[in-house]
Chain A
Amino acid sequence: MKGDTVPDQHHIARLCNPKHIDNGFIQATAFMLRVSEESLSVNWLEFLNCLSRKREIAELRNIYSKKFTKVGGRAQIAVLNVGEIREKVLTESPDRRNLKVLHDPEVNDPSHSGIYNLKQDDELIAEMILETVRETYPAR
């Protein structure tokens, strides 16, 4: 349901477009907000109710191909643990930022969620989130 907190033990995925990737490595820019954005878009993996990570990623690819006009050939999916991001940023960021990960379903994307309490000039926190990326997969 919209506004539900994604549990700390759960995982989220972020679609990282090619302009955020250099030589195959995702960069911190993938975790920066656009000026008009309130939260960083992610997908709640456990909400997809798949039996394995492989199936979750396949389902995400399916969602992205329907949702976006084009997913770049070098785009990647970054998988992160909710509790790990929140703990790292809370305990190690200079302003002890308390990030929230909330369910924010969309019509064509029911697992859509957002990382809230980010700001537009949060390069330091984007770099910290990048450090918590656990796994990466091709986005198509």
Chain B
Amino acid sequence: MPEVSTAYGDKFIDYQSTGRQPYPGVWNPPEIQNYWESYVRGRKCVTFLSTPAVNPESQEVYKGGWPDKKDPFTQTDLLDNEEEQVQELILWIRTSLFIPYRENLANRLVTLLNDAKEEDSASLGIAAGSLRNFYNFLQLNTNLKCPTISLTPEYNIYASWREDQKKLFSVLFLPNGDTRFVIFKPNDLHPERQVRISGTSTTDILMATVAPYGVCDWISE
């Protein structure tokens, strides 16, 4: 099973603790197949797992509940898999108890996905890597207020926290686990002026990176 990564958005997250796995220890192929068939039936979503590295001869490794796709590398397949991952991530957000506003957030993401698809049905909708990166950020920072969310032209998640119309913290979550952030805050010595800062950081150290600017004071519950 893939390892859980809470720091980077470029890794697949399974989110299941080892305690929930039915076959501890070394698995043989029939056990893997049985597990995935039950897993897929239970989740009603299939995640993209077949890569050239694990299936170099483009053969179907799994049967039964495995998706009926021999070549996952067409544009259509990529989009399908991207959308399936997005839907699964939204499902995880909806059921993540550490997110107090999980229902509102999941509904907002569904709306964004529909908006993007309505605008361009051939588009990604939401970039799965970006959404995964955002989810990782929420996992690492469980005390944040619900942000305003929109999509960039490249379908990445852009989250903003505002206060008093003078304080702003916006974060663009890139699919590779990086973030680009913007901070606007009043200049303490010249209240009529604003301090404006932008930068980049990996998701895992974002809050530590922006801590000197007092961002936590206005985006935390």
Contact = CB atoms under 8 A, between A and B. Distances in A.
Interface in A28-71: 28-30, 32-35, 37, 70
B184 A127 contact: yes
A106 to B, nearest CB: 19
Interface residues of A, number: 28
B165 to A, nearest CB: 9
Given A17-B115, A33-B153, A23 B180 contact: no
Given A19-B116, A25-B148, A72-B115, A32 B196 contact: no
A23 B196 CA distance: 25
A74 B151 CA distance: 15
Contacts of A92: 194, 196
B198 A20 contact: no
Given A22-B108, A22-B148, A123-B182, A70 B153 contact: no
A127 B168 contact: yes
A123 B198 contact: yes
Nearest to B118: A72
B196 A94 contact: yes
A17 B116 CA distance: 9
A19 B115 contact: yes
B154 interface: yes
B133 interface: no
A138 interface: no
Interface in B114-172: 115-116, 118-119, 148-154, 158, 160, 168, 170, 172
Smallest CB-CB A-B distances: 10 pairs: A27-B150, A18-B115, A34-B153, A124-B198, A19-B151, A29-B150, A19-B115, A22-B148, A124-B182, A29-B158
Interface of A: 17-23, 25, 27-30, 32-35, 37, 70, 72, 74, 92-94, 121, 123-124, 127-128
14 contacts: A18-B119, A21-B150, A22-B108, A25-B148, A28-B160, A28-B170, A29-B151, A29-B152, A29-B153, A37-B153, A72-B118, A74-B115, A94-B198, A123-B182
Given A20-B150, A127-B184, 11 more contacts: A17-B119, A19-B150, A22-B148, A30-B150, A32-B152, A32-B153, A94-B196, A121-B180, A123-B180, A124-B196, A127-B170
